[in-house]
Structure 1
Amino acid sequence: MELSVILFGLAAALCWGSADFSGGVASKRNGAMIVVVISQITGIILLASYATISGENIPSGNDIMWSVLAGLAGGAGLVALYHALATEKMGIVGPITAVGSAMVPMIFGSLTEGLPSVSQITGFAFAFAGVWLITRGESEQSMELKRLRFPVIAGTGFGLFMILIDQVQGTEVFWPLVGSRSAAAILTFCMILYTGRKLRTSGIELLPFILLAGFLDTGGNVFYVLAARSGRLDVAAILTSMYPAITVLLAWILLKERLSRRQWTGVFAVMVAVVLIA
Structure 2
Amino acid sequence: MSTLRLAYGTNGLTDLRLGDLVVMLSDLGYDGVALTLDHMHFDPLAPGLAFRTRQLADTLDRYGLGVTVETGARYLLDPRRKHHPTLVEADPLARATRVALLETAVQIASDLGAHAVHCFSGVLPEDSTEEEGWKRLRHSFEQILESARRRGTPLAVEPEPGHLLGDLAGFHRLREELGDPAELGLTLDIGHCQCLEPLPPEECVEQSAPWLRHVQIEDMRRGVHEHLPFGQGEIDFPPVLAALAAADYRGLVSVELPRDSHAGPALAERSLNFLREAQR
Normalising by structure 2, report the TM-score.
0.27
Normalising by structure 1, report the TM-score.
0.27
Query: Taking CA–CA contacts closer than 8 Å with sequence separation of 6 or more, which of the two structures ends up with the larger relative contact order?
Result: 1
More helix per residue: 1 or 2?
Answer: 1
